[in-house]
Structure 1
Amino acid sequence: MDQTGIMLVELRATTVAPMLRLAVSLCLILSVMLMIEKVMMGAVSLFAKIFRRRPEKIYKCAPIRDDEEIGTSAYPMVLVQVPMYNEKQVYKLSIGAACRILWPSDRIIIQVLDDSTDPEVKELVRNECEKWLKKGKNIKYETRNNRNGYKAGALKVGMTYDYVQPCEYVAMFDADFQPSPDFLMRTIPFLVHNPDIALVQARWKFVNANECLMTRMQEMSMDYHFKVEQESGSSTVAFFGFNGTAGVWRIQAINDAGGWQDRTTVEDMDLAVRAGLKAWKFVYVGNVQVKSELPSTFKAYRYQQHRWSCGPANLFRKMLWDVIYAKKVSLWKKFYVIYSFFIARRIVSHTVTFFFYCVVIPFSVFFPEVEIPKWGMVYLPTTITLLNCVGTPRSIHLVIFWVLFENVMALHRCKAVFIGLLEAGRANEWVVTEKLGDLLKSNSAASIAKRFQSKFWERINLPELGFAFFLFFCACYDVTFGRDYYHIYIFFQSFAFFVVGLGYVGTFISSS
């Protein structure tokens, strides 16, 4: 063996292999942390279900009734905010749903905050508001001459109008959300009868979950978030992240927390953490469901997940010391916010998913001296996967596809986490998720596909293709020289990266 070969062997034995062993150990530790977190959340959620620890049993929530003496004054003044930005496909649905909410007409204000830059869309939204105004609805159409602060900026400006001052509570619905008429009747009583509650969060119900395989897999992740994560947070420390929509806030709590801020792309979570540190309580009511829409294209979903992953990491960077030095909350709640809410769920879960299953395990096939224990390779991920599936039992047969797709998405989420922690590059990028709205009601796959039809090379995703080739090479090497069966998993994961890399996900399935 020549000198270069000897040096490479020494480098492998003294540097690369030890570093890979260290990476395996670190990933196993993080995986155990993640599994413990999910077991704890699942146990709390199960306890709440078995012993019927529903919000209705814990908090006062007697329905609000008409009073013969004071009339409709028995009902508090409520502001309903509907922020919009070029929402041509959904503006009628959201405005109509908001205007159909059952509440005394003199005790509710519908506020449409239109940041649209398309003159045609602005005119359509304005006309829709005028139509409901003529029907007797107290609806306000508000615009700005800029988009400073994006959604947070619009909501902040919306609270400054004089007609808002008498309002005690504010309900918020994004443009693709359609609350049922009894939404306020079922949520406002929690706030009226419990002065320490700041937020009542409802669950999202997806109208297009069956549209394609990608939306089915999104539904699995979102159902777990609501049925387990939100419910466990509400049950244990009366705190969770506000979802930015389908919720009702006590305006006093918003002001007490410092109002809306646009320092990150998760203004909703920012407000929730600040309010939580002021000792306000949050309640999640899972039996109140609000119709909404899942992203139908991979491009839209990728932008959404970048924002949802980058924003919390960036917020954690900005608020860590605020949480540590908060005086109005217990040490237990501080630990919950720092470790469980931020580190375990929004940093560790994305990081370990990508590095362990897409980098460390495939790379380990080149180093037979590096062993991954069976419990870390099989039992841990199986347990975590099964716990994630409890929210959507009807899709349990899709669990393999879900795992492979989540590993692909971990590439973008992990990158977004580091961008947020370092506050670099696209840390404050905000891309509004495009909705289909009325197109979905036509049930025409052809019309949807036509809308998103694009040339083949425009659908190529180079990062996914790069990892697809890397994984394929690792799998082939393992088949030829390996002593284990890692290649079975790696081949499937490589195929998943290829499918996404070539753009054959979401509505593109219909157009292919």
Structure 2
Amino acid sequence: MNYALSLASVLLLAISSTVFLLQQVIYYLGIKRGKYVDNAPKENLGTPLISVVVPVKNEPLELIEELIRNVNSLNYPKDRLELIIVSDDEPPYSDEVKSKVNELAKEVDFNIKVFIRDKPIGSKAGALAYGVLRARGDYVLIIDVDSKLSSNAINEGIKCMEQGYDACVYRWLPYLFFPTKIACAVCKSMYYVVDTLYSGRSRWGFFVFPLGSGTLFRKEALKDVGLWDYDIIQDDMWIGVKFMNKGKRIKYLDNEGIRVSVPSTYTSIRTQQLRWAYGVAQVLRKGLRMIVKSKLGLLKKIEAIFFLSQYVPTIFLSLGQGLLLLALFIDKIDPMYKFFYINIVPFIAAAAYVYQFMDSLRRRGYKFFNALRSLGTNASVVATMIPALALNTLKGFLNVREVYKRTPKGV
């Protein structure tokens, strides 16, 4: 009995960790597959009207001011830009938001609209749909209030659209509000995460999922798929599944980035990760049939399912940890020592993961020990979250109702 218990615990830990690590390792290998090659333009869009849609709720007024100044700094004709801010704030703060926006609108040369939703149904997804339906532009750029576009972002997005794509995803470039130790570590890890989940995956030719901040859409494509569903937590992954099902094309722009803020505290990072864990599980549960019925090739369908299953290993890691503790309590002999040979494969996978993580940061100019410390900090943070991530993943699969919890901005 105890032999089986010990073996089961080690196998669960070994298999789940190996699956997670190898998935990242394989994705990262994609960045070695050469440079991106742009397709020949299929149309000349000129300078179309671009609508920048930003949902806000309880955001500091300073962030809204920075947003407006960032849009004003874009290298794009101001008469071909409009900024739509959709606020789900309640009075009296909603009045402060509207007053601040109207005040700043007098200082810029592009059109700004601010909408206060009296009934903020659907949380962020509802706010996005609300903004898109009121956008005048044929192209809609979705960003968060604390994101910062590069001056040439719009022009690069239009070049992408001219190649016939329905959406173009900008590379995430992390920045810090407060340089806490944990924030610095997460900031560095984001380079590797983006290298694997977006740069690497796209170079393998896998389906590119939109990002919740930094995706330029054709408005007609959004309307064609029915916009966002109000009951979905992870709005970006869900709109990706709907695009996939309808045969829409999405391109990843590795050469053009959008700066996104990194949470500065453990609590805010945990809130973000738990929402993502629930969200992708919910999307997979609800969208599995849509993925299977899409026109993607079999391999790309399987990969998309694996991509949306990225938090599933936490379930088996948690179960394995529980069984390991039970086996230790019964037998007093460490099962990891008893079955050490089983851990050879996950050890090799972990070594490859560490090498790639270090390589990703080395290419950004980080020193070896600096990168190594960041890796250790990130590993510690993730380890403390595994049981909670597993629980939220299960909730997403079991359709347990969850309230959308925003990641605090500016902290």
**What is the TM-score with the length of structure 1 in the denominator?**
0.71
State the Cα distance separating 1:236 from its structure 2 match: 2.7
Matched, 1:347 2:312: yes
Q: Is the 8 A contact 2:198 2:252 kept in 1?
A: yes
The aligned residue for residue 11 of structure 2 is 25
In structure 1, what is the Cα distance between the partners aligned to 2:143 and 2:302? 31
State the Cα distance separating 1:381 from its structure 2 match: 3.0
SS at match of 1:184: helix
The aligned residue for residue 440 of structure 1 is none
SS at match of 1:23: helix
Gaps of 5+ in 2: none
Gaps of 5+ in 1: 1-13, 65-72, 438-512
The aligned residue for residue 24 of structure 2 is 38
The aligned residue for residue 127 of structure 2 is 154
State the Cα distance separating 1:405 from its structure 2 match: 2.0
In structure 2, what is the Cα distance between the partners aligned to 1:252 and 1:338? 26
Please identify, of 89-98 and 99-108, the stretch whose mean Cα deviation from structure 2 is larger. 99-108
The aligned residue for residue 76 of structure 1 is 48
In structure 1, what is the Cα distance between the partners aligned to 2:58 and 2:405? 12
Please identify, of 121-130 and 361-370, the stretch whose mean Cα deviation from structure 2 is larger. 361-370
Matched, 1:101 2:92: no
State the Cα distance separating 1:346 from its structure 2 match: 3.0
State the Cα distance separating 1:354 from its structure 2 match: 4.2
Q: Deviations for 1:445-503, whole angstroms, at most 9, x for unmatched residues? A: xxxxxxxxxxxxxxxxxxxxxxxxxxxxxxxxxxxxxxxxxxxxxxxxxxxxxxxxxxx
In structure 1, what is the Cα distance between the partners aligned to 2:345 and 2:177? 32
SS at match of 2:120: coil
SS at match of 1:141: strand
Alignment of 1:223-372 (within 5 A): 223-326=191-294, 328-339=295-306, 341-343=307-309, 345-348=310-313, 350-356=314-320, 358-359=321-322, 364-366=327-329, 367=331, 368=333, 370-372=338-340
Call closer, same or farther: CA 1:415–1:386 in 2, change over 3 Å. farther
State the Cα distance separating 1:200 from its structure 2 match: 1.2
In structure 2, what is the Cα distance between the partners aligned to 1:216 and 1:222? 10
The aligned residue for residue 141 of structure 1 is 114
Q: Is the 8 A contact 1:177 1:290 kept in 2?
A: yes
Identity of matched residues, %: 20
Matched, 1:412 2:377: no
In structure 1, what is the Cα distance between the partners aligned to 2:376 and 2:206? 34
In structure 1, what is the Cα distance between the partners aligned to 2:384 and 2:90? 34
Call closer, same or farther: CA 1:143–1:182 in 2, change over 3 Å. same
In structure 2, what is the Cα distance between the partners aligned to 1:391 and 1:429? 35
Aligned AA for 2:5? M
In structure 1, what is the Cα distance between the partners aligned to 2:282 and 2:12? 23
The number of aligned residues is 397
When Rg is computed on C-alpha atoms for both structures, the one with the higher figure is: 1
The aligned residue for residue 422 of structure 1 is 398
In structure 2, what is the Cα distance between the partners aligned to 1:111 and 1:296? 27
1:172 to 114, 134, 142: 142
Call closer, same or farther: CA 1:402–1:106 in 2, change over 3 Å. closer
In structure 1, what is the Cα distance between the partners aligned to 2:327 and 2:380? 19
Q: Comparing both chains, which one has the higher relative contact order based on Cα–Cα distances under 8 Å and sequence gaps of 6 or more?
A: 2
SS at match of 1:34: helix
